[in-house]
Every structure is written in structure tokens, then in C-alpha cells.
Amino acid sequence: MTEPMVRAQAVHKRFGSNEVLKGVTLEVAAGEVMCLLGPSGSGKSTLLRCINHLEKINSGRIYVEGKLVGYRQRGEVLHEMPEREVAREREQIGMVFQRFNLFAHMTAIQNIVEAPIRVAKRKPEEVNRAARELMDRVGLGDRLDAYPAQLSGGQQQRVAIARALAMKPKLMLFDEPTSALDPELVGEVLDVMRGLAADGMTMIVVTHETGFAREVGDSLVFMDDGIVVESGDPTAVLTNPQHKRTQAFLSKVL
């Protein structure tokens, strides 16, 4: 059996006394597009942030390509990973945020080349060429020198995707990438993501776009109150939910 891209085992996460994840177990295969669906506060964004160690989990294990995230295991003892190694693990995992989080003081192209040059230490000429190609790919080849504030939300999110892709990640995490967008701008971002999926990128997408989940997703996970309630083929889950909570949620959303 080949090692899955992401493996989460009985993941628990508390913020103070508030337990947000109550034992989440799931697997994402290489090349798979998994959509995470669920009401707000169900823990789906938190799970995503645990996968690249932006949040520390309280118990359980998360593996990316078979390697434990954030810790090293020596015998029975877990050792915290030094910052340098956590950072190196994150280089491999792209993340796209709900609020874009582009670097406000840099132009679009500067946003994209910053990490490949200064973190991955790749050659500036090569990075610049790749960045231009990425901007073309997200349909913004003519806005290289625009500052984030000069771009629409949809354009900013597309730059943010290009920025994550510039690090040549093997896994992309999308945290409600279209939730902060005006309705008419959602399509352009989903188009870019659709293209990525077609190219075989492994993606975990927290989203409310059931249409996208049905069309692009290989699997769908419905979470509520910190646990995985139901998962499976997106169309099957969406059209014929087995669990009451899934049914209740979908009846409100669809």
C-alpha cells in the first residue's frame, strides 16, 4: 500500500477549555482533491491549520508523506521540532487563506518571488521566469506590478494561489478560498483551482461551494462539532446523506 499524502489519526485540538477537534481521523491520497464541508465552528479550518503546524495538536498524530508533522519520534518520546525544520516542512505545503494575506507592501510579482528566492534559495532569474508563468496561468500576466490594494478580491486570491504554487508544493491547503469574495468573483478563483486539480495537485479544500466539491472533489468529508460525521464520494454524500446532521446542514445550504 502506498503512503497517503496526509494521514490524520485521532487528532485532538483544544483552545483553552474549548475542544475544537475531538478525534479526527482521515487520509488523503496523493493527487486526491478532498473537500471539507461543515458548519462554522466545526473544526475544519483548525484541522487544515494543524496539517502545516500553524496550530499544535494536543493529541493524535498527523503525517504528511509518512513524516510526522511538527514532532520527531524517538522511541516512545515525542520531541518538538526546531523552528528551522518546521519551516522546511511548511515549504512543501502551500496554503491559501480566506483573507488572501498577500504582503501588502509588495507588488504581485514580489509577493510570488519572495519565498522561492529567500526561503528556497532558488536563482532569482529562474524564479522570476516561473513567477511570470504562474501569473499567466492564473490569468494576471498583465498585473505583475500591481500592489494587492489595487487588485480585486478575486485577483488577490489568484495571486495568493500563484504565491503558494511558486514554492512547488506537493500539497495545497485551501481555507475557504472564496468565502471573502463577491459572488461574481468566485468563479475566477474556482477556475484556477479546477485547473490545479486537473494537473494532479493534491488539495484539501475547506469550502461551502458544494458545486465545486461535486465537480472537482474526489472525496468529501463532512465535519461537525470536531468530528468527521460522514465522508465519501462527493455526489453520493451531497445527494444522499446518511447522517442526520449532514442532512440538516445540507438542507440549509443547498
Partner 1 sequence: MTTTDPAATPEPTSELSVPVEIKAVPVRRPGRLLAAVIIVILAAALIRSVATNPRFDWSSVGKYLFSAPIMDGLVQTIELTAISMVIGIIIGVILAVMRLSPNPLVVGASGFYIWLFRGTPVLVQLLFWSFIGALYPVIALGVPFGPSLLELNSNHLITPFVAALLGLGLNEGAYMSEIVRAGLLSVDEGQTEASKALGMRRILMMRRIILPQAMRVIIPPTGNETIGMLKTTSLVSVIAYTELLYAAQLIYAANYKQIPLLIVASIWYLVLTTILSIAQYFIERHYGRGTARATPPTLIARIWQSFSTWRHTQVETVAPTRHGL
Angle (deg, nearest 10), helices 124-137 and 153-165: 140
Q: What's the min distance (Å) between Cβ of 247 and partner 1?
A: 34
Q: Is 106 in the site for partner 1 (CB under 8 A)?
A: yes
The residue type found at 59 is S
Nearer to partner 1, 154 or 217 (CB): 154
In the chain, how long is the greatest CA-to-CA distance? 55
Contacting range for partner 1; rule: CB under 8 A; set: 65-73, 150-158, 188-196, 220-228: 150-158
Contacting range for partner 1; rule: CB under 8 A; set: 71-79, 130-138, 148-156, 232-240: 148-156
Spell out a b/e string for 190-204, using b for 16 or more CB atoms within 10 Å of the CB, else e. Answer: bebbeebbeeebbbb
Going 183 to 37 to 138 to 95, the CA torsion angle's sign is positive
Q: Is 163 in the site for partner 1 (CB under 8 A)?
A: yes
Residues in 24-83 that interact with partner 1 by CB under 8 A: 52, 54, 83
Q: Is 150 in the site for partner 1 (CB under 8 A)?
A: yes
Q: Is 88 in the site for partner 1 (CB under 8 A)?
A: yes
Q: Is 167 in the site for partner 1 (CB under 8 A)?
A: yes
* Sequence-ordered list of residues with C-beta below 8 angstroms from that of 89, at least 6 positions apart, any chain: 52, 53, 64, 67, 69, 70, 81
Q: What's the min distance (Å) between Cβ of 84 and partner 1?
A: 6
Q: What's the min distance (Å) between Cβ of 225 and partner 1?
A: 25
DSSP 81: P
Asked if 189 and 119 touch (Cβ cutoff 8 Å), the reply is no
User: Please, which residues bridge with residue 172 across strands?
Assistant: 94, 203
Q: Which of 56, 66, 78, 119 binds partner 1 (CB under 8 A)?
A: 119
Residues that bind partner 1 (CB under 8 A): 52, 54, 83-84, 87-91, 93-95, 97, 99-107, 114-115, 118-120, 145-152, 160, 163-164, 167
